[in-house]
Chain A
Amino acid sequence: MWRGRQEPPVAGWIGWVFSHDARIGFELLARITRAPILKLLVRRVVQAVPVVWLVSFITFALMNLLPGGSSGTALQLLGENATPSAIKALNIKLHLNEPFFTRYVHWIGGLFSGHLGNSVATGQSVAGILAERLPVTLELGLVSLVLSVVFSLLSAVVAAHQRGRIVDRANIAVSMLGLSVPNFVFALILVFVFAVKLHWLPSSGFTSISAGLGQNIRGMILPSLSIAFGLTCGYNRVLRADLVDQLVGADYVMLARSKGISERRILFGHALRNAAFGFLTLVGLNLGTIIGGVVLIEEIFSLPGIGQELVQSITYHDTLVVESVVVILAVTVIAANFMTDMVYSLLDPRIRYDRSE
């Protein structure tokens, strides 16, 4: 604490400038830093930094040290009959002959300064690839997210309202069955029913929104449904269980009932708010995995998204593209988890993150 005679540090100066009293500045600073949400924010950021670094290092190490990794790039590009001297020349051109750590530092520096480099196979810049591919994946992810949240909210609320009755039981059974079908298998079945048998929807292909909104929506229905179905079943199970817990056990629900408040109002006004935390956490934690998990769906429906690009780049040993994309996806996951944490603690003031979980 500043004792008067000494030079006041920055916080003190701020208080002094505004009110000629350095103590106000200190008090302000102390209050801000003591706010639990900020403490949480700072701690989470501090935790996230080494995780992001580790992610980048693990990615780079995997791509470069695994037997078929970047050492196979030149061979893959030049074909089976490449002469050793040609391979050597290409390796020098791509800086693949330099030591591992030099390349790592170079790559990390590029990531920070925004120069992501160029694809080895096509010569396209990684930033350009991302700009072209990411919108498709984001559209798919966003549509599936919205669909799954809407469907699961509806079904869970109805099931909780009708708890123990036939609708609820059917809902539980369908969720359990739905959770047991992997999304790419569900996608294949959807293609069989709606594209091959009924000819209602296209089985593959993508039209950008600017080229035709109707076509775009038609192409997006099956892929987004196949992702949303599994998610809906998972969300629905969690939300329904929490809702029933609140409706059956909570004191405030009993009080509301004894006051004569309608069941519908109790459900939407009281129980849903209190039961939503598990649901919101799950949705938040899934944000990143949706984006990363669409690889197979994009393959099946041949959507030109980030997942398809990844699989292509991996097969071409296009290490630079894979590294950058994987790191970006991982950072998205970290950011999504971070946001979930923040929103969670903002919504529920009872939650105090005093110990690291």
Chain B
Amino acid sequence: MTAQSELPLSAETPVLSTDDERERSAYRRQEIFFWAPIVALGLIALICFLGPLVLPILAPIGGSISNANLAVFAPGHLLGTDPAGNDNLAKVLYGGRVSLEVGFATVGIGLLVGGGFGALAGFRSGWTDLVISRLFDALLSFPALVLAIVIATYLGPSELHVIYAISFFSIPAVGRLARANTLRIRSATFFAASRIAGANEWTILRRHVAPNILPNLLTFSFLSVSVSIIAEAALSFLGLGVPPPNPSWGNMLALGEQYLDLRPVLLFIPAVAIFLTILSLNLAGDALRARWAE
């Protein structure tokens, strides 16, 4: 017998059993399901924000009437043109900018303002809590879209006003969750310990409350970006969003409704764009929730 063959090959070397393999492929599949929607979302954002800068994309407004109503795959216009002669591809990309900006801005505002007040309410309890949570309750009991329509109409159509209008219901939604999560943390030992150690309110909020409630809040916010994007599309559909010559997915849908019998493609382009964005947001949110939140 040689020295080599004396090595206990069968026992020690890791031989892949079928169980192991199955586990690995399950793990791999899990990773794919986790990353695919996030990558898709990143791609959508990249194309919308960087695409017009690096690719030969035309301007979304000021098209000439001579190229009106070109079909899809027309030379120079990959997705055709609308009745005013504007390039549909350019419109979809610039519209996507608006949607993503509004979606993430409203949720960011919700996270900052709502998260802050919610955490404060859960942390302080007593009168502060009572006032803040009743205010959240009141804001959440408005039919969300109706309130947004009122605000957007009276302030006038602009992207900033849409952000204000939609923030009105992203703030209480995040806030209520922040409050509930903070209440749960209050009973933890580290919370009591830091109080006994004499840490002041702000320190506890920053060092103990924020890091512990943030995973849950971020997951929820991720899922509510899609709600904001839908709300933005709804407002622009009613003509209350970005003022009309500038494209947004909502006003593209409204145009599509007008030309439903003649040029249904005008409806399908923004519809598919919204669908893909919301789908990847929902899948990414689900994946994040499965990984982070309990």
| Chain A residues packing against B (C-beta within 8 Å) | 47, 50-51, 54-55, 58-59, 62-63, 66-69, 72, 176-177, 179-182, 184-185, 188-189, 191-192, 196, 288-289, 291-293, 295-296, 299-300, 307, 310-311, 314-315, 322, 326, 329-331, 333-334, 337, 356-357
Contacts and interface: CB of A to CB of B under 8 A. Distances in A.
A63 B150 contact: yes
Interface in B231-275: 233-234, 237-238, 253, 256-257, 260-261, 264, 267, 271, 274-275
B153 interface: yes
A181 B277 CA distance: 10
B251 to A, nearest CB: 13
Interface stretch (B39-47, B67-75, B82-90, B141-149): B141-149
A295 B151 contact: no
A180 B279 contact: yes
Nearest to A185: B271
Contacts of A314: 149-150, 153
Contacts of A315: 153
Contacts of A55: 138, 141-142
Given A68-B156, A179-B282, A310-B146, A184 B141 contact: no
A48 to B, nearest CB: 9
Contacts of B127: none
A58 B138 contact: yes
Interface in B43-87: none
A182 B233 contact: yes
Interface of B: 133-135, 137-139, 141-147, 149-151, 153-156, 180, 226, 230, 233-234, 237-238, 253, 256-257, 260-261, 264, 267, 271, 274-275, 278-279, 282-283
B175 to A, nearest CB: 14
Given A50-B134, A188-B253, A295-B143, 4 more contacts: A47-B137, A189-B267, A292-B142, A295-B149
Contact of B275 (A66, A180, A188, A192): A180
A310 B133 CA distance: 28
A69 B154 CA distance: 6
A311 B256 contact: no
A176 B234 contact: no
B158 to A, nearest CB: 12
A215 B200 CA distance: 68
A333 to B, nearest CB: 4
Contact of A326 (B147, B238, B253, B264): B147
A328 to B, nearest CB: 10
Nearest to B143: A292
Contact of A62 (B135, B150, B278): B150
Contacts of B275: 180-181, 185
Contacts of A288: 141, 143
B282 A67 contact: no
Nearest to A356: B133
A47 B238 CA distance: 35
A192 B264 contact: yes
14 contacts: A47-B137, A54-B134, A58-B138, A58-B142, A67-B154, A68-B154, A68-B155, A177-B279, A181-B278, A292-B146, A295-B145, A296-B145, A331-B141, A337-B141
